[in-house]
Amino acid sequence: KNQVEQSPQSLIILEGKNCTLQCNYTVSPFSNLRWYKQDTGRGPVSLTIMTFSENTKSNGRYTATLDADTKQSSLHITASQLSDSASYICVVTATSGTYKYIFGTGTRLKVLA
């Protein structure tokens, strides 16, 4: 069964610190993996996308990595800011099946001043 698991469920860090969020998946075969940021009360917004052949992708202070062999991805946030407080959702797009977007349950990040 295609699944995406994220850890930790929640995380609290101090402003200025770095953090890393994890995403493990069993989706196979897959075409790409995205990280979304969802602010409270808002819809998710795409941060990064990686195809199965890419290892890393950056978007400002956000850097995503992908290891297709171990089926793991991580999202690293550098020099966190209060505005980084949000949920981060990992989504894997499968290449087969009726519908293809497999969502993780997200990591809720809280950045404290």
Partner 1 sequence: DVKVTQSSRYLVKRTGEKVFLECVQDMDHENMFWYRQDPGLGLRLIYFSYDVKMKEKGDIPEGYSVSREKKERFSLILESASTNQTSMYLCASSLEELGGTREDEQFFGPGTRLTVL
Positions that interact with partner 1 (CB under 8 A): 9, 31-32, 34, 41-46, 49, 51-52, 89, 91, 93, 95, 98-101, 103-106
The span from the CA of 53 to the CA of 31, in Å, is: 9
Q: Where would I find the beta strands (DSSP E) of the chain? A: 4-7, 10-14, 19-25, 30-38, 45-51, 56-59, 62-67, 72-77, 86-94, 101-103, 107-112
The span from the CA of 77 to the CA of 60, in Å, is: 9
Based on CB atoms, which residue is closest to partner 1, 60 or 99? 99
Based on CB atoms, which residue is closest to partner 1, 39 or 67? 39
How far apart are CB 26 and partner 1 at their closest, in Å?
15
What sign does the CA torsion over 94, 98, 99, 103 have? negative
How far apart are CB 46 and partner 1 at their closest, in Å?
6
Based on CB atoms, which residue is closest to partner 1, 52 or 59? 52
Instruction: Match 């995380």 to its residue by tokens.
Output: 11
How far apart are CB 74 and partner 1 at their closest, in Å?
18
Based on CB atoms, which residue is closest to partner 1, 11 or 49? 49
How far apart are CB 42 and partner 1 at their closest, in Å?
6
